[in-house]
Chains A and B, each alone.
Chain A
């Protein structure tokens, strides 16, 4: 079965500051003619420079945006006509660990579990297991999120996503800005999830080593279009010029993958 089926999807936005009453500029295309099929159980990587449309694509998958045209299905459910069914199957970890910062990890996770209709005690046990595996000190569990490092917050964000046992996990730059150890912890955990739960994963990243390590196939996004889609090895061989996936990224996008200066579109 296909985890994701994306057929000719396009999305554009009005530039910030353009009022619907006094439109000064035309729409900016964020995604154009995106098509791909992702089999169940695959880890599908999306690489692209800042503003290339990676986060827009993830938002479409998790029903936070409506496509202008085309079709997107998650396990056969259309994201436009059956959003509630899609939402039961997915969860997302974004580059910003978005939480109520004054609340503790436990309070934030209780809230998330409740929204998904989970029993509080079961959810707490599961969250504790996940956070233990991710190496978050137990003493931090009841501390406000604002007192945690970014790496620790991101681990709580991963726990929030896995708490609901999603069939499709959408990881939007989950390791951006993390220290090397936290980055390694998260990557190892993603491998564990794949092995233990056979979850399907979409991973947006700027980290070529991460993509090489975790992804079965990688799509390269540039200006809202896929310019390549293949296994990391094939991409490196075809476009890398002897410099691996990083060389392929440079050749296909003309940009440095390590440039993480701005948050993506």
Chain B
């Protein structure tokens, strides 16, 4: 059973307090290093940083407002080959869910990795955040305003900006982690909540980092439920709008006609982990004659070719595990609604197998298992 406690915030400096707690994990030797977003020297963005020296925690932000990379990928690189010392990673809920999926595919090893999850108000596009700062807003103040909003479950972006579409319709703002930093429903200038999982509770208490006391505010559950309900509503509306726009294959292709097959969505996707992607093999290096035959049959073909098969196959590979982080959206130079596509298709397919990606590391992904008596899809009753 996970244990609850609170971190008392001194002088209203929430970020500093959380940082102080994380720093103590390094100082007391609970972990060898911490992976945490750090404010860039320019102040107009964040970058995931692996910090070993507690004195180098300056600028580290548990609640970063952008997601330049999916840290599940970082966690994969970090843990897959000989990670022999304990490392903690400060992550967003979708990053943890992606890590859970990657762990099932043996792409992340959780043995020496502690997951620290932070309640997520949503993130901004990297370019939007940079613009906000350039317009003269102060990063820490921005975070402070968002934190204040989270107390009531109403994190509001600055005038003229929105959270990333994937965040607006993300119904998993609350992570499941070894250390869960709870912000929704807390007066964050006075205290923030902490929930410590079984892996760490004993050690943190013994090393005098924490003592367990107190319960979460009674209003928290209602606030979280409301945030989830609002986002689910936006999600359903987005799905409906999307499926309304795709009536047949032609309308789908029209919608995706600006795809330049750059593979960015694939590179950004945490679930696409194959070392050798089929789309980068000789299978898709066609001979000149082949292009001419296609052009001959159809009168003319769009170049580059293979955009439809790319999206369909990518979908058939990752859609059961799509956790909806939306980094494919952010990575798309043509601003295609790839995340909505993957999520709305994923939603249907995941329901078919009653599977929720990222829910539990002990669940088996639908593509890796089966039931003997299921899916009556045999065709052609004679």
A and B from one assembly?
A: no
Which B residues are within 8 Å of any A CB, using their own CB?
none
